[in-house]
Structure 1
Amino acid sequence: MFKGRREWLKGLGLTGLALALGMALAGAAFAPAQAEEKVTVFAAASLKNALDAINTKWKEETGKETTASYAASSALAKQIEQGAPADIFISADLAWMDYLAERKLIKADTRSNLLGNRIVLVSAKADAGSVDIKPGLDLAALLGDGRLAMGAVDSVPAGKYGKAALEKLGIWPTVAEKVAGAESVRAALLLVSRGEAPYGIVYKTDAAADPGVKVVGTFPEDSHPPIIYPIAIAADSKNPDAAAYLEFVKSPKAAALFETQGFIVLE
């Protein structure tokens, strides 16, 4: 086979060889360009509205695409640990970013604290009165026979913040058996919005994103650990656009979109 090819090239002569080489180069020049790889973002469920807007802005300015996966930070961190192909991870708390950092699954020098938030008590009832959230609040009486919707308190960041606040205020023992733990803060929000739970604990930003709920009280900031959303590039990411996307999410343009949704911009 190779001998025949050498004889064929000899037969072409210099002119024919130049022509063949030119045709090969032209073919390469006009070959369709390989599609650019999208930046894959794993982000806490509470970021959906803000990050969707930011991803749209990123595409408008760069022409580049993103793929966003929203879920509880715990679920996303576990997926990354199991080898899911993520470029960027944005957690709703420090603990799950630390979890990946301890396992060398993020690029440590790209990590920073991006956003802050607040947790609030919401109700689907338009006529629900305001609730003064303080030590001794009889939340159990407010719930009656209903359930308190919140993220799973052992894994979902919003659930962990909520439980910490209820414990600090001395309320937890009276409502622990009434909690309806959800797989994410957005799932907890949906339980309230649909009327399946009379009250729920969610982020302030989630409440603002759902017209079906009303904020009836805000938890004191000193009743729970600071709510911090860290961001980092995943250790296995080889996407050349990951660093540029990270900087865009930390830019003033993105900050304005985060603030529109009620987030506190830390950078």
Structure 2
Amino acid sequence: MLLAYIDEIGETGAFVSNKDARYKTSPAFGYAGLIIPGDQARKFGEVFTREKRVLFKADIAAAEHPGRWERKGSEIFRPDTFEKYPQQMRVFSYLVRSLRELGGSLFYYADEKPLGTPRQTDLDTDARETAAMRETLNRIARYADHNQSNVTVMIDQINEKTRAARLPAMYEHILGRAAGYAEMKRIVEPPMHIDSVLSSNIQFSDWIAACVTRAIDYQLIQDSRYNWLAEPRALPPERYLR
């Protein structure tokens, strides 16, 4: 059994430019995260938790509920991350290597948005989310079939109203597409929603999604503030990091 943990890349709203007063959040939307053999998921979660506790020791100690403290990926990958917080990049790189050593893989799927306001692009945010989720599930199913394994998909928790609205569409897609694409039968259930504060692997999927979001920003925006993503740099050694 494979376990896939995914989170959103960007958001579903319109995009005009990174200088627009309202529509400047993200030029693409999709999903990203990790896929790992089920019998290695807990081990990777332990690695993530250990590294997080070392990296953010002071923040966690000061938290009201240290066991439920999390750092969002948007705070990890900032324009000044490489200069001011290189240890965060070093930990992220270490976690990616650890994931791969445990037989896991990174995953992402994203669609570039048409430029323009909601009126100009005839925006339907529900349709955009549904299309991205369908393509994400298609690719996860193919990966699982290639590995001759079933897969369970998990995503960060959303509000109940939104979850209830999305669930029928996911069921319909998985069951309907299975008639012509046998790999869809590899998906055991539509994505389950898990509170990120309770799942280390969901937290790491958020970090991955944030990293991909910044990389897309660099690729699609001419004056992106994240050009450091494509510049080869040596990370300084940190005594307490591997």
Tell me the TM-score normalized by structure 2. 0.24
Higher relative contact order (CA 8 A, sep 6+): 2
Greater strand share, structure number: 1
Tell me the TM-score normalized by structure 1. 0.23
